[in-house]
Amino acid sequence: MPALKFVRSVWESFRASSGLEPRLLDGLKVTSAVPGRVKFELPIEKHHTNRLNILHGGTIASMVDLGGSLAVASRGLFATGVSTDLNVTYLSSGGKIGDLIRAEVSCDKFGKTMAFTSIQFKNEKDEVFARGSHTKFIALAWKDPNNITGELSPRVEKKE
């Protein structure tokens, strides 16, 4: 199964089973996924904003959390573990209602017990407005029967 199809299936599982993500991030669309890297986008709606009518920092933090999980999924884990650390740096406003934001998240380190991810958010002008990192405890996630880690493990190119 290609990484994009698998990551989208994990996102659908979040949408079906979670309390937060389907309410806050229902419009999120995964646009690209390869092992270790995922891209997604979200059109900003009223419920994503603060009282200044700009993108709420809590929405961004939730996307750091979800993005880290999707990056772990891109490596083949269906159960994406639990958060141990999450960091967000807000550089500027992410936009207002009607704007489209894009994110690219990578799984920087993927081990037997921990996964480390990083993410960048860009506005419609392709400017970075926030970045984050997310650490996940994944030791128990390796036991999920829906995993396809062997299929999505990075291939090392052999030099001839």
| pTM value > 0.85 | yes
Residue pair 72/18 in contact (Cβ under 8 Å)? The answer is no
Structure tokens at 10: 């994990």
- Residue 44 domain-assigned (yes or no): yes
Query: 40-86, pLDDT tens digit by residue?
Result: 999 999 999 999 999 999 999 999 999 999 999 999 999 999 999 99
Residue 98: phi and psi, rounded to 5, are 100, -20
pLDDT attached to residue 154: 62
- Residue 102 domain-assigned (yes or no): yes
- Residue 70 domain-assigned (yes or no): yes
Can you tell me the mean pLDDT for 84-89? 98
CATH number, residue 23? 3.10.129.10
Say yes or no to pLDDT of 108 above 50: yes
- Residue 55 domain-assigned (yes or no): yes
Query: 123-159, pLDDT tens digit by residue?
Result: 999 999 999 999 999 999 999 999 998 888 765 444 5
- Residue 160 domain-assigned (yes or no): no
Say yes or no to pLDDT of 22 above 80: yes
- Residue 155 domain-assigned (yes or no): no
Can you tell me the mean pLDDT for 95-108? 97
How far apart CA 45 and CA 151 sit, in angstroms, is: 36
% the chain with pLDDT above 70: 95
Structural domain including 36 reads 3-148
- Residue 157 domain-assigned (yes or no): no
- Residue 110 domain-assigned (yes or no): yes
List Cα–Cα distances, 114 to 3, 47, 149, 155, in angstroms: 20, 32, 15, 20
Number of domains in the chain: 1
